[in-house]
Amino acid sequence: MKRWIGVILAVVLAGVAVVAILLGGQEDEGPKVAVVRGVIGSEKKPFFDDPRVKAAFARHGLRVEVDTAGSRQIVTDVDLGEYAFAFPSSVPAAERIKRDRKATTTFSPFYSPMAVATFEPIAALLTKAGAIRDSGKGYQTLDIKKYLELVAKGTRWDQIPGNSTYPARKRVLLTTTDIRTSNSAAMYLSAIGYVANGEDVISSDAQIAKIAPVVAPAVLDQGFAESTSEASFDDYLALGAGKTPMLVVYEAQYLAHVFAGDGAIKPEMRLVYPSPTVLSKHTLVPLSGQGTRVGELLTKDPELLALAAAYGFRTTNPQAFTDLVAKTKAPAAADLVDVVEPPTYERLDKLITTIDAARP
Protein backbone atom coordinates (compact mmCIF):
# COMPACT_ATOMS: atom_id res chain seq x y z
CA MET A 1 0.00 0.00 0.00
CA LYS A 2 2.81 2.43 0.89
CA ARG A 3 4.39 1.71 -2.46
CA TRP A 4 1.16 2.64 -4.32
CA ILE A 5 0.75 5.81 -2.27
CA GLY A 6 4.26 6.80 -3.27
CA VAL A 7 3.49 6.20 -6.94
CA ILE A 8 0.29 8.26 -6.76
CA LEU A 9 2.08 11.12 -5.02
CA ALA A 10 4.81 11.06 -7.65
CA VAL A 11 2.21 11.27 -10.45
CA VAL A 12 0.43 14.16 -8.71
CA LEU A 13 3.66 16.05 -8.20
CA ALA A 14 4.63 15.49 -11.82
CA GLY A 15 1.25 16.86 -12.93
CA VAL A 16 1.65 19.92 -10.72
CA ALA A 17 5.09 20.50 -12.21
CA VAL A 18 3.74 20.28 -15.77
CA VAL A 19 0.93 22.75 -14.99
CA ALA A 20 3.42 25.14 -13.37
CA ILE A 21 5.66 24.99 -16.43
CA LEU A 22 2.74 25.64 -18.76
CA LEU A 23 1.46 28.57 -16.70
CA GLY A 24 4.94 30.00 -16.42
CA GLY A 25 5.35 29.82 -20.18
CA GLN A 26 2.09 31.70 -20.66
CA GLU A 27 3.22 34.40 -18.26
CA ASP A 28 6.50 34.80 -20.14
CA GLU A 29 4.73 35.17 -23.45
CA GLY A 30 2.38 37.83 -22.16
CA PRO A 31 -0.98 38.60 -23.82
CA LYS A 32 -1.36 37.37 -27.38
CA VAL A 33 -1.25 40.11 -30.04
CA ALA A 34 -1.86 39.96 -33.77
CA VAL A 35 0.80 41.44 -36.05
CA VAL A 36 -0.67 43.89 -38.57
CA ARG A 37 1.58 45.25 -41.33
CA GLY A 38 0.93 48.47 -43.19
CA VAL A 39 2.66 50.77 -45.67
CA ILE A 40 2.53 54.48 -44.86
CA GLY A 41 3.81 57.88 -45.96
CA SER A 42 7.14 58.64 -44.26
CA GLU A 43 5.84 61.67 -42.36
CA LYS A 44 3.70 59.36 -40.18
CA LYS A 45 6.51 57.02 -39.15
CA PRO A 46 7.49 58.94 -35.97
CA PHE A 47 3.88 58.56 -34.82
CA PHE A 48 3.76 54.81 -35.45
CA ASP A 49 7.22 54.35 -33.89
CA ASP A 50 6.19 56.05 -30.63
CA PRO A 51 6.16 53.49 -27.76
CA ARG A 52 2.93 55.05 -26.49
CA VAL A 53 1.24 54.41 -29.83
CA LYS A 54 2.53 50.84 -29.88
CA ALA A 55 1.25 50.31 -26.35
CA ALA A 56 -2.18 51.73 -27.25
CA PHE A 57 -2.51 49.29 -30.14
CA ALA A 58 -1.24 46.44 -27.96
CA ARG A 59 -4.04 47.08 -25.47
CA HIS A 60 -6.39 46.27 -28.33
CA GLY A 61 -4.47 43.11 -29.20
CA LEU A 62 -2.53 44.51 -32.17
CA ARG A 63 1.14 44.96 -32.96
CA VAL A 64 1.26 47.40 -35.87
CA GLU A 65 4.39 47.26 -38.02
CA VAL A 66 4.91 49.75 -40.85
CA ASP A 67 7.07 50.26 -43.90
CA THR A 68 7.37 53.65 -45.57
CA ALA A 69 7.11 54.79 -49.17
CA GLY A 70 6.20 57.96 -51.02
CA SER A 71 2.42 58.18 -51.22
CA ARG A 72 2.48 58.04 -55.00
CA GLN A 73 4.84 55.06 -54.83
CA ILE A 74 2.31 53.26 -52.66
CA VAL A 75 -0.11 53.49 -55.59
CA THR A 76 2.29 52.56 -58.37
CA ASP A 77 5.24 50.54 -57.05
CA VAL A 78 4.42 48.80 -53.75
CA ASP A 79 3.17 45.20 -53.66
CA LEU A 80 0.13 45.79 -51.49
CA GLY A 81 -0.55 42.06 -51.27
CA GLU A 82 1.94 42.00 -48.38
CA TYR A 83 0.02 44.47 -46.24
CA ALA A 84 -3.14 44.73 -44.14
CA PHE A 85 -3.52 48.44 -44.86
CA ALA A 86 -2.16 51.25 -47.01
CA PHE A 87 -2.00 54.73 -45.49
CA PRO A 88 -1.03 57.39 -48.07
CA SER A 89 -1.24 61.08 -47.32
CA SER A 90 -3.99 62.17 -49.67
CA VAL A 91 -7.50 61.29 -50.75
CA PRO A 92 -6.70 60.97 -54.48
CA ALA A 93 -4.01 58.34 -53.83
CA ALA A 94 -6.23 56.49 -51.35
CA GLU A 95 -9.21 56.48 -53.70
CA ARG A 96 -7.02 55.03 -56.46
CA ILE A 97 -5.83 52.26 -54.11
CA LYS A 98 -9.39 51.64 -52.96
CA ARG A 99 -10.55 51.23 -56.54
CA ASP A 100 -7.61 49.09 -57.63
CA ARG A 101 -7.84 46.79 -54.60
CA LYS A 102 -11.66 46.76 -54.58
CA ALA A 103 -11.71 47.92 -50.97
CA THR A 104 -15.12 48.83 -49.57
CA THR A 105 -14.22 51.67 -47.21
CA THR A 106 -11.54 54.15 -46.15
CA PHE A 107 -10.71 55.99 -42.93
CA SER A 108 -9.45 59.58 -42.64
CA PRO A 109 -8.36 59.78 -39.00
CA PHE A 110 -6.33 62.97 -39.35
CA TYR A 111 -5.29 65.68 -41.77
CA SER A 112 -2.68 68.38 -42.18
CA PRO A 113 -2.67 71.55 -44.30
CA MET A 114 0.29 72.01 -46.62
CA ALA A 115 2.57 74.74 -45.29
CA VAL A 116 5.98 76.32 -45.87
CA ALA A 117 8.83 76.02 -43.38
CA THR A 118 11.17 78.97 -43.75
CA PHE A 119 13.26 81.46 -41.75
CA GLU A 120 12.66 85.00 -40.50
CA PRO A 121 15.14 86.71 -42.94
CA ILE A 122 13.54 84.88 -45.88
CA ALA A 123 10.03 85.76 -44.76
CA ALA A 124 11.06 89.41 -44.40
CA LEU A 125 12.47 89.47 -47.95
CA LEU A 126 9.35 87.94 -49.43
CA THR A 127 7.25 90.43 -47.48
CA LYS A 128 9.22 93.22 -49.18
CA ALA A 129 8.64 91.51 -52.51
CA GLY A 130 4.89 91.41 -51.86
CA ALA A 131 4.66 87.63 -51.73
CA ILE A 132 4.19 87.17 -47.96
CA ARG A 133 1.63 89.06 -45.90
CA ASP A 134 0.27 88.96 -42.39
CA SER A 135 -3.12 87.28 -42.08
CA GLY A 136 -4.06 89.40 -39.09
CA LYS A 137 -4.85 86.17 -37.25
CA GLY A 138 -1.45 85.26 -35.86
CA TYR A 139 0.15 83.66 -38.90
CA GLN A 140 1.65 84.63 -42.26
CA THR A 141 0.53 83.59 -45.74
CA LEU A 142 2.43 83.12 -48.97
CA ASP A 143 0.52 84.52 -51.96
CA ILE A 144 0.91 81.79 -54.57
CA LYS A 145 0.01 84.13 -57.45
CA LYS A 146 2.75 86.60 -56.44
CA TYR A 147 5.17 83.74 -55.89
CA LEU A 148 4.53 82.36 -59.40
CA GLU A 149 5.22 85.83 -60.79
CA LEU A 150 8.65 85.77 -59.13
CA VAL A 151 9.24 82.29 -60.54
CA ALA A 152 8.21 83.36 -64.05
CA LYS A 153 10.72 86.24 -63.95
CA GLY A 154 13.49 83.93 -62.80
CA THR A 155 14.01 86.16 -59.75
CA ARG A 156 17.09 85.42 -57.67
CA TRP A 157 17.41 86.20 -53.99
CA ASP A 158 20.16 88.77 -54.54
CA GLN A 159 17.88 90.63 -56.99
CA ILE A 160 15.28 91.48 -54.34
CA PRO A 161 15.69 95.20 -53.53
CA GLY A 162 17.24 95.94 -50.16
CA ASN A 163 18.40 92.36 -49.63
CA SER A 164 21.39 92.43 -47.30
CA THR A 165 20.44 89.38 -45.23
CA TYR A 166 20.35 86.56 -47.78
CA PRO A 167 22.30 87.61 -50.90
CA ALA A 168 22.26 84.15 -52.46
CA ARG A 169 22.50 83.95 -56.22
CA LYS A 170 20.07 81.05 -56.52
CA ARG A 171 16.50 81.30 -57.70
CA VAL A 172 13.57 82.15 -55.45
CA LEU A 173 11.99 78.71 -55.38
CA LEU A 174 10.17 76.60 -52.86
CA THR A 175 11.94 73.30 -52.22
CA THR A 176 9.73 70.23 -52.51
CA THR A 177 10.10 66.49 -52.57
CA ASP A 178 10.04 64.65 -55.89
CA ILE A 179 6.66 65.10 -57.60
CA ARG A 180 7.02 61.63 -59.13
CA THR A 181 7.02 59.83 -55.79
CA SER A 182 5.89 62.09 -52.95
CA ASN A 183 2.46 63.36 -51.96
CA SER A 184 3.66 66.62 -50.38
CA ALA A 185 5.11 67.73 -53.74
CA ALA A 186 1.95 66.60 -55.54
CA MET A 187 -0.22 68.63 -53.14
CA TYR A 188 2.00 71.68 -53.72
CA LEU A 189 1.58 71.15 -57.45
CA SER A 190 -2.19 71.01 -56.89
CA ALA A 191 -2.12 74.45 -55.25
CA ILE A 192 0.07 76.20 -57.81
CA GLY A 193 -1.79 74.42 -60.62
CA TYR A 194 -5.07 75.75 -59.26
CA VAL A 195 -3.76 79.33 -59.38
CA ALA A 196 -2.19 78.90 -62.84
CA ASN A 197 -5.49 77.47 -64.07
CA GLY A 198 -7.32 80.72 -63.37
CA GLU A 199 -8.12 79.72 -59.79
CA ASP A 200 -9.94 76.55 -60.75
CA VAL A 201 -9.34 72.84 -60.12
CA ILE A 202 -7.65 71.18 -63.08
CA SER A 203 -10.26 69.06 -64.84
CA SER A 204 -9.18 68.51 -68.45
CA ASP A 205 -6.21 67.54 -70.58
CA ALA A 206 -6.47 70.89 -72.37
CA GLN A 207 -5.99 72.73 -69.07
CA ILE A 208 -3.00 70.53 -68.25
CA ALA A 209 -1.36 71.29 -71.59
CA LYS A 210 -1.88 75.02 -70.98
CA ILE A 211 -0.59 75.28 -67.43
CA ALA A 212 2.21 72.70 -67.47
CA PRO A 213 4.74 75.15 -69.00
CA VAL A 214 3.74 77.75 -66.40
CA VAL A 215 4.24 75.59 -63.31
CA ALA A 216 7.09 73.39 -64.61
CA PRO A 217 9.88 75.87 -63.68
CA ALA A 218 8.65 75.92 -60.06
CA VAL A 219 9.29 72.18 -59.97
CA LEU A 220 12.10 71.40 -62.40
CA ASP A 221 14.40 74.33 -61.63
CA GLN A 222 14.90 73.16 -58.03
CA GLY A 223 17.40 70.52 -59.06
CA PHE A 224 17.63 67.37 -56.95
CA ALA A 225 14.57 66.60 -54.83
CA GLU A 226 14.30 64.11 -51.97
CA SER A 227 11.89 61.22 -52.44
CA THR A 228 10.26 61.55 -48.99
CA SER A 229 8.99 64.47 -46.95
CA GLU A 230 10.73 63.27 -43.79
CA ALA A 231 14.18 63.39 -45.44
CA SER A 232 13.68 66.90 -46.80
CA PHE A 233 12.39 68.18 -43.45
CA ASP A 234 15.43 66.71 -41.68
CA ASP A 235 17.61 68.78 -44.06
CA TYR A 236 15.64 71.93 -43.21
CA LEU A 237 16.12 71.35 -39.49
CA ALA A 238 19.81 70.44 -39.67
CA LEU A 239 21.25 72.50 -42.52
CA GLY A 240 19.32 75.76 -42.36
CA ALA A 241 18.60 78.43 -44.95
CA GLY A 242 21.81 77.86 -46.88
CA LYS A 243 20.49 74.51 -48.05
CA THR A 244 16.72 75.04 -47.80
CA PRO A 245 15.45 78.62 -47.50
CA MET A 246 11.83 77.56 -48.09
CA LEU A 247 10.44 74.03 -47.87
CA VAL A 248 6.97 72.71 -48.62
CA VAL A 249 5.96 70.63 -45.57
CA TYR A 250 2.99 69.16 -43.85
CA GLU A 251 1.97 71.51 -41.05
CA ALA A 252 2.15 68.52 -38.70
CA GLN A 253 5.88 68.01 -39.30
CA TYR A 254 6.67 71.49 -37.98
CA LEU A 255 4.11 71.57 -35.16
CA ALA A 256 5.11 68.15 -33.81
CA HIS A 257 8.45 69.64 -32.73
CA VAL A 258 6.80 72.80 -31.36
CA PHE A 259 4.38 70.70 -29.30
CA ALA A 260 7.21 68.45 -28.08
CA GLY A 261 9.38 71.43 -27.10
CA ASP A 262 12.42 69.44 -28.20
CA GLY A 263 14.44 72.43 -29.42
CA ALA A 264 14.43 71.35 -33.09
CA ILE A 265 12.51 74.50 -34.11
CA LYS A 266 14.94 77.37 -33.66
CA PRO A 267 13.86 80.97 -32.89
CA GLU A 268 14.56 82.15 -36.46
CA MET A 269 12.39 79.42 -38.05
CA ARG A 270 8.94 80.32 -39.34
CA LEU A 271 5.79 78.48 -40.45
CA VAL A 272 3.93 80.13 -43.34
CA TYR A 273 0.69 79.01 -45.03
CA PRO A 274 0.34 79.09 -48.83
CA SER A 275 -2.69 80.98 -50.09
CA PRO A 276 -4.38 78.97 -51.40
CA THR A 277 -3.33 75.78 -49.66
CA VAL A 278 -4.45 72.16 -49.85
CA LEU A 279 -5.49 69.89 -46.99
CA SER A 280 -3.62 66.62 -47.00
CA LYS A 281 -6.14 64.12 -45.63
CA HIS A 282 -4.17 61.11 -44.45
CA THR A 283 -6.46 58.32 -45.62
CA LEU A 284 -6.15 54.67 -44.61
CA VAL A 285 -7.31 51.95 -47.01
CA PRO A 286 -7.92 48.62 -45.24
CA LEU A 287 -6.80 45.59 -47.21
CA SER A 288 -7.90 43.03 -44.57
CA GLY A 289 -10.07 42.78 -41.50
CA GLN A 290 -7.14 43.65 -39.27
CA GLY A 291 -6.45 46.70 -41.42
CA THR A 292 -10.04 47.79 -40.85
CA ARG A 293 -9.48 47.46 -37.11
CA VAL A 294 -6.43 49.75 -37.32
CA GLY A 295 -8.50 52.33 -39.21
CA GLU A 296 -11.28 52.17 -36.65
CA LEU A 297 -8.90 52.62 -33.72
CA LEU A 298 -7.07 55.55 -35.32
CA THR A 299 -10.41 57.24 -35.95
CA LYS A 300 -12.18 56.57 -32.65
CA ASP A 301 -9.74 55.65 -29.86
CA PRO A 302 -9.30 58.71 -27.60
CA GLU A 303 -5.74 57.80 -26.63
CA LEU A 304 -4.59 57.41 -30.25
CA LEU A 305 -6.37 60.63 -31.26
CA ALA A 306 -4.59 62.53 -28.48
CA LEU A 307 -1.23 61.08 -29.54
CA ALA A 308 -1.90 62.01 -33.19
CA ALA A 309 -2.56 65.59 -32.08
CA ALA A 310 0.74 65.56 -30.19
CA TYR A 311 2.40 64.80 -33.53
CA GLY A 312 0.82 67.90 -35.05
CA PHE A 313 -2.09 66.26 -36.83
CA ARG A 314 -5.58 67.73 -36.82
CA THR A 315 -7.98 64.95 -35.89
CA THR A 316 -11.66 64.18 -35.46
CA ASN A 317 -11.20 65.56 -31.93
CA PRO A 318 -10.20 69.19 -32.70
CA GLN A 319 -10.02 70.18 -29.05
CA ALA A 320 -6.85 68.16 -28.47
CA PHE A 321 -5.06 70.09 -31.23
CA THR A 322 -6.48 73.44 -30.07
CA ASP A 323 -5.34 72.83 -26.50
CA LEU A 324 -1.78 72.06 -27.64
CA VAL A 325 -1.66 75.20 -29.78
CA ALA A 326 -2.80 77.31 -26.81
CA LYS A 327 -0.39 75.60 -24.41
CA THR A 328 2.68 76.01 -26.62
CA LYS A 329 1.67 79.25 -28.39
CA ALA A 330 2.35 77.46 -31.67
CA PRO A 331 2.09 79.56 -34.86
CA ALA A 332 -0.80 77.47 -36.19
CA ALA A 333 -3.69 78.82 -38.24
CA ALA A 334 -6.92 78.32 -36.30
CA ASP A 335 -9.29 78.70 -39.24
CA LEU A 336 -7.80 78.30 -42.69
CA VAL A 337 -10.32 79.52 -45.25
CA ASP A 338 -8.34 79.73 -48.50
CA VAL A 339 -8.24 75.97 -49.08
CA VAL A 340 -8.71 74.26 -52.44
CA GLU A 341 -9.31 70.67 -53.48
CA PRO A 342 -6.66 68.70 -55.38
CA PRO A 343 -7.50 67.31 -58.82
CA THR A 344 -8.41 63.67 -59.25
CA TYR A 345 -5.53 61.21 -59.11
CA GLU A 346 -5.63 60.73 -62.89
CA ARG A 347 -5.53 64.48 -63.68
CA LEU A 348 -2.76 65.12 -61.20
CA ASP A 349 -0.81 62.16 -62.54
CA LYS A 350 -1.18 63.49 -66.09
CA LEU A 351 0.12 66.91 -65.00
CA ILE A 352 3.08 65.28 -63.25
CA THR A 353 4.01 63.10 -66.23
CA THR A 354 3.67 66.10 -68.59
CA ILE A 355 6.04 68.16 -66.46
CA ASP A 356 8.40 65.22 -66.01
CA ALA A 357 8.62 64.77 -69.79
CA ALA A 358 9.99 68.33 -70.01
CA ARG A 359 13.06 67.51 -67.89
CA PRO A 360 16.29 68.28 -69.76
On whether both 301 and 339 belong to a single domain, the answer is no
| Dist CA 135 CA 294 (whole Å) | 38
Can you give the residue range of the structural domain that contains 344?
A: 113-279+335-357
> How many domains is the chain partitioned into structurally?
2
Give tens-digit pLDDT for 65-118.
999 988 888 998 999 999 999 999 989 999 999 999 999 999 999 999 999 999
On whether both 100 and 236 belong to a single domain, the answer is no
Q: Strand, coil or helix: what is 322?
A: helix
DSSP string, 84-98: SEEE-SSHHHHHHHH
Q: What is the reported pLDDT for 15?
A: 52
Q: What is the reported pLDDT for 3?
A: 52
pTM: 0.86
To 5 degrees, how large is the angle CA 336–CA 337–CA 341?
100
Region 202-214: mean pLDDT is 96
Answer yes or no: is pLDDT of 304 > 60.
yes
Answer yes or no: is pLDDT of 20 > 60.
no
Who contacts 346 (Cβ-Cβ below 8 Å, separation ≥6)?
none
- Could you tell me if residue 190 is inside a domain? yes
User: pLDDT band at residue 182, thresholds of 50, 70 and 90?
Assistant: confident
Q: How far is CA 129 from CA 156, 172, 194, 205, 349, in A?
A: 12, 11, 22, 33, 32
Answer yes or no: is pLDDT of 313 > 90.
yes
Quote the DSSP letter at residue 175: B
- Could you tell me if residue 159 is inside a domain? yes
- Could you tell me if residue 14 is inside a domain? no
User: Is 262 in contact with 321 (CB distance < 8 Å)?
Assistant: no
Q: What is the reported pLDDT for 337?
A: 84
Answer yes or no: is pLDDT of 14 > 90.
no
On whether both 102 and 198 belong to a single domain, the answer is no
Burial class (CB in 10 A: 0-12, 13-18, 19+), 169: exposed
Nearest one of 341, 229, 216 to 279, comparing CA atoms: 341
